[in-house]
Amino acid sequence: MKILQVQTQAEAAGAQRISDMVGEGLRARGHDVRTVFLYRKTAVYDRDPHADFILMHPPRGVLEQVLAVLGLIDHVRKIRPDAVVSFQHYGNIAGTLAARLCGVGAIVANQSGAPQARGLRGLLTQVDKLMGMAGMYHVNIVNSAWTEAQFAAFPAAYRKRLKRIDHGVPAPARLPARKRARAAFGLPIGVPLAISTGRLAPSKNHTALVGALAMLPDVHLAIAGTGPEEEMLLALAARLNVQSRLHLVGELSPAGIHDFLAAGDVYAFSSTTETFGLAVVEAAIAGLPIVSSDLDVLREVLTTADGRPAALFVPPDADGIAAGLAQVFANPALAATLARAGRQLREQYSPAAMCAAYEALLSNNGFRTGTIPSITSSGPERLSV
């Protein structure tokens, strides 16, 4: 089967990690899978032989946004995939429109955020709702029980297309020794080190982590990721006089993430909104004790099948994070208990099981029964951008 995955932007983030795993897993099963990004944001996918870009930079204004969508339609028409699997809000909308216009037989969307009522995200939620009710895509993937519950008030015509496939989370085959890992990233050796990963954006709430440093005078913090808040975080660290203990290591590849996790004593996750929390589950599976925001979805995904928490859950503010880190650093037995529970999660979030679920879904002949009318069977005229 020829499968095209559609992502909004090329950068190292959670949604992209999922499509990487799905693509790799389906290719191992004999399928032809490529991922197309509406635009290139960072260089992380430049050497990926299975990645394509419509725009080589973030769109500058409405015209370039339109050009990105037109370019995607032309790309789908040229590739002629059997299935399109889209990710993220804009990827879902653009990917679904392109797939329907080009007569693709199987169209799958992925929900990477809970429904919103206000602002641009609120508008995107309404567009998604209308597309789902109209049958524009055939299946709509949610990644946790919590996420699925957020759509409970949506019309039945929308909810009947929901299918839950929990994220797969990669487990490191082998981790370097902590001392070696710290040296590789230029991190101090012989100090208590909390680490975190994720885009430096408001929803990830890294300001709470930096604020916690001011209350933990012996602790260092290292964060892997890039984003719009980088300069603000550095300025905050300077104001709090903790700049010497804050280490921003930049964007890392998936393999680099595992090496980075080996450098930490504790993983701190202060995000204020998630639908799964891939980064924190990955850290738990790697064997790090976790101090996490007390969100319902994180309590769900960071609890083992036999009911043991793999994290210490705290309020997502500087006081809560600082208190949680202090407790774990001071209590080696607690840290060991959390780490053991985290390692157990690898059985619940197997990438192989996730890929098998996608393969079963895409192989379903029901996609091609014709019960869901297509916009066109011939596709548009060739468009050039």
Pick from 258, 260, 205, 255: which is nearest to 233 by CA? 205
Please state the domain count of the chain. 2
Asked, for residue 276, whether it belongs to a domain, the answer is yes
Structure token digits, residue 245: 């203990």
Asked, for residue 100, whether it belongs to a domain, the answer is yes
Tell me what pLDDT residue 367 has. Answer: 59
Residues 140 and 30 both lie in one domain: yes
Residues 222 and 197 both lie in one domain: yes
Tell me what pLDDT residue 363 has. Answer: 85
Residues 215 and 294 both lie in one domain: yes
pLDDT band at 369 (very low <50, low <70, confident <90, very high): very low
Asked, for residue 302, whether it belongs to a domain, the answer is yes
User: How far from 340 is each of 279, 285, 333, CA to CA, in Å?
Assistant: 18, 9, 11
238 three-class SS: helix
Residues 343 and 201 both lie in one domain: yes
Beta bridge partners of 290: 267
Tell me what pLDDT residue 383 has. Answer: 26
Residues 266 and 343 both lie in one domain: yes
Kindly report which listed range (195-199, 347-351, 370-374) carries the lowest average pLDDT score. Answer: 370-374
- Residue 377 pLDDT more than 60? no
Residues 23 and 58 both lie in one domain: yes
In sequence order, which residues have a C-beta less than 8 Å from that of residue 16 and are 6 or more positions away? 7, 10, 45, 87
Beta bridge partners of 341: none
- Give the Cα separation of 208 and 229 in Å (integer): 13
Residues 244 and 113 both lie in one domain: no
Domain around 196: 178-347
Residues 161 and 228 both lie in one domain: no
- Residue 366 pLDDT more than 50? no
pLDDT band at 174 (very low <50, low <70, confident <90, very high): confident
| 80 vs 385, residue with greater confidence | 80
Pick from 154, 143, 36: which is nearest to 86 by CA? 36
Asked, for residue 51, whether it belongs to a domain, the answer is yes
> Residue 54, class by beta-carbon neighbours within 10 Å (0-12 exposed, 13-18 middle, 19+ buried)?
buried
**Average pLDDT in the 262-276 region?**
96
Residue 267 near residue 291, CB atoms below 8 Å = yes
Phi first, then psi: what are they for 197, rounded to 5°?
A: -135, 150
**Considering just the CA atoms, what is the radius of gyration of the chain in Å?**
21
Tell me what pLDDT residue 375 has. Answer: 30
What does pTM read for this prediction?
A: 0.88
Residue 289 near residue 308, CB atoms below 8 Å = no
**Average pLDDT in the 203-222 region?**
97
User: How far from 235 is each of 71, 196, 200, 343, CA to CA, in Å?
Assistant: 40, 19, 14, 36
Residue 139 near residue 109, CB atoms below 8 Å = yes
Residues 155 and 195 both lie in one domain: no
235 three-class SS: helix
Structure token digits, residue 26: 């389906």
Residues 88 and 33 both lie in one domain: yes
Q: Within a 10 A sphere around the Cβ of 384, how many other Cβ atoms? A: 6
Assign residue 42 the CATH number of its domain.
Answer: 3.40.50.2000
pLDDT band at 253 (very low <50, low <70, confident <90, very high): confident
Asked, for residue 225, whether it belongs to a domain, the answer is yes
Asked, for residue 9, whether it belongs to a domain, the answer is yes
- Residue 368 pLDDT more than 60? no
Residues 59 and 128 both lie in one domain: yes
Tally the C-alpha atoms within 13 A of residue 364's C-alpha that lie toward its C-beta: 14
Tell me what pLDDT residue 313 has. Answer: 98
Residues 339 and 356 both lie in one domain: no
Asked, for residue 242, whether it belongs to a domain, the answer is yes
Asked, for residue 80, whether it belongs to a domain, the answer is yes
**Average pLDDT in the 73-87 region?**
97
> Residue 281, class by beta-carbon neighbours within 10 Å (0-12 exposed, 13-18 middle, 19+ buried)?
buried
